[in-house]
């Protein structure tokens, strides 16, 4: 009888940013089994090949985590300030007061989550708020 090989451990790196805070291009997957010769790394091109065969509705959506939640508010505020262009097909007018409300919402989230965030989440939130406050002042002067 053949012995069944135990299933390996699958590790999926879903982080949006690397250690320096730069955006990552794609997630990487590593499968680890008991023997080193069976180690398999799925690269970005392999992941793209998989998703190329799926329709748009079948493509896995990225997991929503605290960082992506905060980034979505930051992106919204930057669009409201006129700092970045909205996606194609969307017409978002400059709205200083709307941006102020979005920034205030992020400030409230910072206060309400104080002491409950991981260090990188706390640093991300502080950095985003700092940049948004500067962008708000710059947009208010125009």
**Per-residue pLDDT, 86:** 83
**Per-residue pLDDT, 36:** 40
Answer yes or no: are the C-beta atoms of 81 and 99 closer than 8 Å: yes
In a domain, 57, yes or no: no
**Per-residue pLDDT, 2:** 58
Parent domain of 119: 66-141
In the block, tokens 């104080």 appear at 114
Distance of CA 6 to the CA centre of its chain: 33
> Percentage helix, strand, coil, to 5, in the chain?
50, 10, 40
In a domain, 1, yes or no: no
In a domain, 40, yes or no: yes
Number of structural domains in the chain = 2
In a domain, 73, yes or no: yes
**Per-residue pLDDT, 142:** 78
In a domain, 39, yes or no: yes
**Per-residue pLDDT, 128:** 96
Task: Look at residues 140, 136, 70 and name the one whose alpha carbon lies nearest to residue 105.
Answer: 70
In a domain, 130, yes or no: yes
Residue 40 sits in the same domain as residue 81: no
Residue 41 sits in the same domain as residue 70: no
**Per-residue pLDDT, 138:** 93
Give pLDDT tens digits along the chain (142 positions): 556 655 666 666 677 666 667 776 655 554 444 444 443 444 444 455 555 555 555 567 778 899 999 999 999 999 999 998 888 888 888 899 999 999 999 999 999 999 999 999 999 999 999 999 999 999 998 7
């Amino acid at each position: 009888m053949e012995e069944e090989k135990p299933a390996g451990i699958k590790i999926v790196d879903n982080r949006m940013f690397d250690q320096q805070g730069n955006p990552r291009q794609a997630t990487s997957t590593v499968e680890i089994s008991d023997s080193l010769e069976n180690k398999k790394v799925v690269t970005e091109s392999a992941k793209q090949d998989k998703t190329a065969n799926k329709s748009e509705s079948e493509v896995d959506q990225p997991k929503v985590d605290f960082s992506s939640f905060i980034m979505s508010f930051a992106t919204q505020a930057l669009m409201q300030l006129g700092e970045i262009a909205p996606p194609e097909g969307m017409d978002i007018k400059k709205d200083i007061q709307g941006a102020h409300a979005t920034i205030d919402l992020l400030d409230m989230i910072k206060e309400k989550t104080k002491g409950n965030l991981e260090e990188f989440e706390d640093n991300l939130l502080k950095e985003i708020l700092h940049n948004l406050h500067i962008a708000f002042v710059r947009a208010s002067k125009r």
